Structure 1
């Protein structure tokens, strides 16, 4: 392990310290050495860095057993964000490495971005902008959100904040989450439904479930009796991208708006959703839903506090159980 006076902290989050607070400077002032690498978490790139690292403020890339094996001095992985589906928490626990995350720090930011994507897709804003710049002022008929039924898949912090922000538009709202009890107060505001109900009954479906399983596939899309607008600011693996691309072409999906793709951080081939013929009906942002000054500061503050707590012999506030 490096000396107690200058423990080394690896930072692989692209926006760490990019808000209103310089958390790297705070760590430096507290006696930590901060080293940075890319959020892809490429093993070859990290091979020279991980052996001397005591703490890791991890970005969106995977943290696997292979990464952990390269870091014998590592004591804490502070996930900069809420999702831990790409972190092998069991492998970390087996090696005595504490995993933490930052629940709630960016929930408001992601909820706002979700509504922004929904409205942009609903009214075709990016496509309209491109047409005007090309000298084409022709338009098309859109829909009003107040006339539609919106399905929210996942009723955690972000899903509930999306529902709150949609309130001013007054659409009919259905919510699906098998882990939320039937007597939860959220069902005083919205209608309870299943994931399959959302396919059958909704004009718009926005995804806020944890990753790990595909929900929107050929069967789900085939159950719908109307074209659907899909919004995904959660996890890329919630949808089958090939199935959604085909559904866009057939008219079963009339627009798709997302903040993530399956190829994110992997350097692989382009997603089928980025095909030129789908450009007018697909909106993708580069995983920036959480990237507000407030969200960035919240994640940085929580990740830094938990990392220091572990390395300084205290209990972190946001541990993730294996």
Structure 2
């Protein structure tokens, strides 16, 4: 009997056609035994204990060391978009098939990004904190429809953000070297260079792939004065020290962050009133999360069938 292991912090899709088929094939399915995000040592210990043939993975670091702890491992199905947490070269060398679910979380992440944009413009979290401190102050914000929104990365999520923001009015621009100008124009979006976007956007929202963009001190210095930065993509897209300096200097008016270089985050950005933070929950809408989990399980089953671990 082989083990199928889920390593996401939570996993709700426990009884469906795919899990029943895997169980019928004689596999034991072990769901999120630790109930939290795994570090590398956690993953090594868990893999060594259970030696799974396949895993539905979260964002834990799946390094060569982790994979070595599970000699039976043949398939990794990421529950989510990014594959930056997986050492793809090590997986290829070990004959491990890797898949992801790029479409499933798009709407959930896009909606959170737009929620953060509106929250930052209208200073909702800041006003909430003041009231809880006994300070009844009506804060002056700004209209989304009167702003230029710059979308960095115009893939599935970036395009969804454009669709959601369009009804508010305003101008939409995007920077993505792989996007087609005609396709962007069809969505009412103008493709521009990253430097142009930073200089012209009132709101900069990040949806680029890991490793393709990094906003450091030089890039943030090019941002329009008073701009707001939103990051629901990956923490490494932004130099947090440079962001802190830009906010403290008043160069940026605010930031809304769902992702960080190290998580859980416990750094100095948390002390700034113009910063709103959420706990890497972009995909954590019930409907989207269920879809991701089902797709990841389906991907895993398909790969196990292909390698002969499960009958067609």
- What is the TM-score normalised by the length of structure 1? 0.87
In the alignment, does 2:35 pair up with 1:42? no
**Which residue of structure 2 lines up, in the alignment, with residue 73 of structure 1?**
72
List structure 1 segments (4+ residues) > 6 angstroms apart after TM superposition. Answer: 19-23
Equivalent pairs, count? 304
Distance 1:272 1:28, change over 3 A: farther
Trace 1:193-212 onto structure 2 (pairs within 5 A): 193-212=192-211
Listed as ranges, the gaps of 5+ residues in structure 1 are: 316-322
Q: Distance in 2 between matches of 1:250 and 1:187?
A: 38
Distance 1:61 1:48, change over 3 A: closer
**Which residue of structure 2 lines up, in the alignment, with residue 318 of structure 1?**
none
Q: 1:305 aligns with which of 266, 288, 298?
A: 298
**Which residue of structure 2 lines up, in the alignment, with residue 319 of structure 1?**
none
Q: 2:28 aligns with which of 15, 30, 33?
A: 33
Trace 1:48-127 onto structure 2 (pairs within 5 A): 48-51=45-48, 52-127=51-126
**Which residue of structure 1 lines up, in the alignment, with residue 8 of structure 2?**
13
1:188, CA displacement in angstroms? 5.8
**Which residue of structure 2 lines up, in the alignment, with residue 288 of structure 1?**
281
Once the two structures are superposed, residues 247-276 of structure 1 have per-residue CA deviations (whole angstroms, 9 ceiling, x without a partner) of 1111111111011111115xxx723322x2
Q: Distance in 2 between matches of 1:241 and 1:19?
A: 38
In the alignment, does 2:257 pair up with 1:261? no
Q: Distance in 2 between matches of 1:168 and 1:183?
A: 20
Q: Distance in 1 between matches of 2:100 and 2:108?
A: 16
Q: Distance in 1 between matches of 2:18 and 2:139?
A: 47
Once the two structures are superposed, residues 140-185 of structure 1 have per-residue CA deviations (whole angstroms, 9 ceiling, x without a partner) of 2211111111100011000001000001110111111001133335
Query: Relative to structure 2, which stretch is displaced further, 136-145 or 44-53?
Result: 44-53
Tell me if the contact between 2:162 and 2:187 (Cα under 8 Å) persists in the aligned partners: no
Q: Distance in 1 between matches of 2:209 and 2:268?
A: 22
Distance 1:8 1:253, change over 3 A: same
Distance 1:73 1:85, change over 3 A: same
Tell me if the contact between 2:80 and 2:100 (Cα under 8 Å) persists in the aligned partners: yes
Listed as ranges, the gaps of 5+ residues in structure 2 are: none
Distance 1:22 1:262, change over 3 A: farther
Q: Distance in 2 between matches of 1:138 and 1:240?
A: 32
Query: Relative to structure 2, which stretch is displaced further, 41-50 or 108-117?
Result: 41-50
1:40, CA displacement in angstroms? 3.8
**Which residue of structure 1 lines up, in the alignment, with residue 173 of structure 2?**
174
Greater RCO (Cα-Cα under 8 Å, separation 6 or more): 1
1:239, CA displacement in angstroms? 0.5
1:47, CA displacement in angstroms? 3.5
Distance 1:19 1:218, change over 3 A: farther
Q: Distance in 1 between matches of 2:130 and 2:18?
A: 42
1:30, CA displacement in angstroms? 5.5
In the alignment, does 2:271 pair up with 1:272? no
In the alignment, does 2:172 pair up with 1:184? no
Q: Distance in 2 between matches of 1:29 and 1:286?
A: 37
